[in-house]
Amino acid sequence: MGFTVAIDGPAAAGKGTISRAVAAHFGFAHLDTGLIYRAVGKRVLDGEEPLDVARSLSAEDLDALGLRTPQVAQAASRVAVEADVREALVDFQRAFAMRDGGAVLDGRDIGTVICPEAPAKLFVTASPEVRAVRRHKELLETGHDAGYDSVLADVRARDERDRTRATAPLKPADDAVTIDTSHMSIDEAVAAAIAVVTKARG
């Protein structure tokens, strides 16, 4: 039986960096479930129906170029409100979580809906301003020239939509350990996450 690590949290909180580092440390596979919603959002921006896309999504869609833009992030959070779209994406995520050899999944509802039985659950967060600074830097580094104010507005809008939706809203699982990375370096945040997983493995 595999060991599942569930990592949830708001936009640009550092889930990706922490998840990759935790997966590398323990030799687990990693799935960024945000990419799934971004891939659906992107095809919807291109004119397709959300549910049709969710039902026909393939692994190649996750490799599509241009998934990391703020426009696609907003489209992702709009399709992510739809219960039937989320439902269509559950099996793929659960199968990944159960794979032999262990898995780290990061997203919004991994600890609450996708893998409520996961033995290690983290909720990674930081203040909206800190998250916007990090995302702004990331976007500039990848050639997207979005201003800080618009990045902060994007982060806030998505958090609001993700937290208040009826289906699988963003919130920590009751037994999740929260890591607030606002005043942590990447190394400190990764070390904190590894410590939680190490303890959960017993």
Question: In the beta sheet, which residues pair with residue 124?
Answer: 179
Which uninterrupted H or E stretch holds 104?
Answer: strand 103-107
Q: Is 76 in the site for ligand CDP (CB under 6 A)?
A: yes
Q: Is 181 in the site for ligand CDP (CB under 6 A)?
A: no
User: Which tokens hold the place of 26?
Assistant: 């323990």
Number of residues that bind ligand CDP (CB under 6 A): 15
Sequence letter at residue 13: A
- When the beta carbons of 178 and 198 are compared against ligand CDP, the nearer one is 178
Contact window for ligand CDP (CB under 6 A) among 72-80, 139-147, 174-182, 192-200: 72-80
Q: Is 12 in the site for ligand CDP (CB under 6 A)?
A: yes
Residue of 30, 108, 121, 134 that binds ligand CDP (CB under 6 A):
108
- Minimum distance between the CB of residue 179 and ligand CDP, rounded to whole angstroms? 15
Residue of 19, 77, 112, 181 that binds ligand CDP (CB under 6 A):
77
Residue of 4, 17, 19, 33 that binds ligand CDP (CB under 6 A):
33
Q: Is 189 in the site for ligand CDP (CB under 6 A)?
A: no
Of residues 99, 3, 118, the one with CA closest to residue 107? 118
Residue of 4, 28, 34, 126 that binds ligand CDP (CB under 6 A):
34
Nearest 10 degrees: Cα torsion 199, 186, 12, 93: -40
Burial of 81 (0-12, 13-18, 19+ CB in 10 A): middle
Contact window for ligand CDP (CB under 6 A) among 33-41, 52-60, 178-186, 187-195: 33-41
Q: How many CB atoms lie within 10 A of CB 76?
A: 23
> In whole angstroms, what is the distance from residue 75 CA to residue 70 CA?
9
- When the beta carbons of 32 and 197 are compared against ligand CDP, the nearer one is 32
CB 54 within 8 A of CB 44: no
Three-class DSSP category at 179: strand
Binding site for ligand CDP (CB under 6 A): 11-12, 33-34, 37-38, 73, 76-77, 80, 107-109, 158, 162
